[in-house]
Amino acid sequence: MTQHEFGQRIIDDLQQLQKQIETSFYYLEAEQLNAKPSEEQWSILQCIEHINLTNEQYIKAFRRAEEKANSADRAQSSYKMGWIGKLMSNAMRPKNGVIRYKMKTFDSLVPLNQKDPKARLVEHVVFEKFSQDCAELERLIKATEDYNWNRIKVQTLLGKWLKLKLGDAYAFVLAHSQRHVEQAMKLSAEMF
C-alpha cells in the first residue's frame, strides 16, 4: 500500500467515525448523553470527551512533527506499519465490535466531570471539539503525506522512550477513537 493510500484510509475512517457520532448521538438529550450505568463507568459524552483530550495531545505532537519535517526527505512509494505501531493499534482497535483489552486511563485524560462530579461537560462543545479535531487530523495527514512517515517519529503519551513512526501514530489515534466510539455505542445500546 502506498503512503498516500494508507493516509487516505485513515481519513476515510475518521470521516466514518464522525458520521457515526452524528447519526448515533447528536439527537440524544443531555440526560441521555450524561447517563452512566455506574459511578465508575463513563457516559457517552465522557467517552467522546476522552477522545478529545487524547487527540489534543497527539495533534500537538503531529504539529511538532510537521514543523520538523525535512522537505528533502520525500515519501517512499509504499508504507508498512512498524511492529510496535501495529501491535499498539491492534490492541486498541475493537475487533468485530468487541473491545478486547481493558486499559487504565492516565489521570490527565480522564474527563473532568468524572474526577469532579460538580463539573459539567457542555454537549455541543464536546461534539464541536471532536469535529474540529477530526478536521485537523485530516489536514495534518494531507500536509505531511509527501514526507517520509517512516523517518518522522512521534512521542506517544506513554513516555519519551516510546516513539512511533508518523503513519503508525496516525493509525493509533484512529484506533483509539474507534475504541471509545464503540464504547459509547455499547452504552447507548444498553441504556436506551
pLDDT tens column, 78-96:
899 999 999 999 999 998 8
Q: Give the chain's mean pLDDT.
A: 92
Residues 142-170 have pLDDT tens digits of 999 989 999 999 999 988 899 999 999 99
**Within 10 A of 180 (CB to CB), how many other CB atoms are there?**
24
CA distance 36 to 39: 7
pLDDT (0 to 100) of residue 5: 96
Cβ partners under 8 Å of residue 76, min gap 6: 3, 148, 150
**Residue 74 pLDDT grade (very low, low, confident, very high; cuts 50, 70, 90):** confident
- Mean pLDDT calculated for residue range 97-125: 84
Residue 136 has pLDDT above 80, yes or no: yes
Residue 72 has pLDDT above 60, yes or no: no
Q: Are 168 and 83 in contact (CB under 8 A)?
A: no
- Mean pLDDT calculated for residue range 68-75: 73
Cβ partners under 8 Å of residue 71, min gap 6: 147
**Residue 71 pLDDT grade (very low, low, confident, very high; cuts 50, 70, 90):** low
Residues 137-146 have pLDDT tens digits of 999 999 999 8
Identify the residue whose cell numbers are 505532537: 61
pTM for the predicted model, two decimal places: 0.93
**Residue 118 pLDDT grade (very low, low, confident, very high; cuts 50, 70, 90):** confident
- Mean pLDDT calculated for residue range 43-53: 97
